[in-house]
Structures are given as structure tokens and as C-alpha cells.
Amino acid sequence: MKVSDSVPVAGPAAPQAPSSVGSSGQPSGPASSSVSAIAQGVRDRVSVDASKGAESTISEARRSSATDRAARMQKLEASVRSGTYSPDPGRVAEQILTDAEVDARLHAIMSR
């Protein structure tokens, strides 16, 4: 490898769209239509009207999930206070083992 050799870096070249000439002798095709749109002062437009519907849907989902969660928590609290709460022992054991596995993997990664 020769360090003394250097080649000048040229900037990016502007893309050139192929232009075609129609039967009238005027340019035609997508390149000419975009050029004529620019010449006429036509600009692209962006609208956020469609996102307003999504915003309302998301906010409604948040409200309903918060309401559902609050109802579940009240039910859980009532069953714990009354002494009728009985968690699934298999599910609890599975979660303990999953947490231990994740902790072991993190510890192995951190000790490298």
C-alpha cells in the first residue's frame, strides 16, 4: 500500500433523468412533467388530517386500558383483603425460573 498516492474525491453528481422528446418536438415523460410543475410553481403538500383519526383512536385505547387496569386492580385488592386471592403456583414458579435465567445471562454477559 502506498501512502503517498492520493486521488481527489469528487462530490456527488446530480442525477439526470432521461428526457424524451414527444411527437410535437417538446419534451415528454415524467422528467418533463416534473420540470413543468416546478416551472409553474406547483409544490408538494403534506396533510396531517389523517393522523387526527389515529390520535383519537390511541387516546380512546389509553383511556379504556387505564379503566380496565383500574378495575382489575380493585378486584385484585378486594380478593387479597378478603383472603380469597390464590395465585397459580405453577405460574409463579415459572416466572421465578424465568427471572433467574435472565439474571444468570446478564451476569455472564457482564463478567466477560
The pLDDT of residue 27 is 53
Do 29 and 20 touch, CB atoms closer than 8 A? Answer: yes
Looking at residue 72, its amino acid is R
Output helix, strand, coil percentages for the chain, rounded to the nearest 5.
60, 5, 40
Cβ(20)–Cβ(26) below 8 Å:
no
The three-state secondary structure class of 47 is coil
Distances from the Cα of 43 to the Cαs of 15, 34, 35, 75, in angstroms? 20, 10, 12, 57
pLDDT of residue 51: 80
Check residue 38 and give its pLDDT: 60
Mean pLDDT by 10 residues, the chain (112 residues): 64 60 54 59 75 85 87 94 95 97 96 88
Supply the pTM of this predicted model: 0.36
Residue type, 68: D
- Cα separation of 21 and 93, whole Å? 75
What residues pair up with 21 in beta bridges, in sequence order?
27
Residue extents of the structural domains in the chain: 48-83
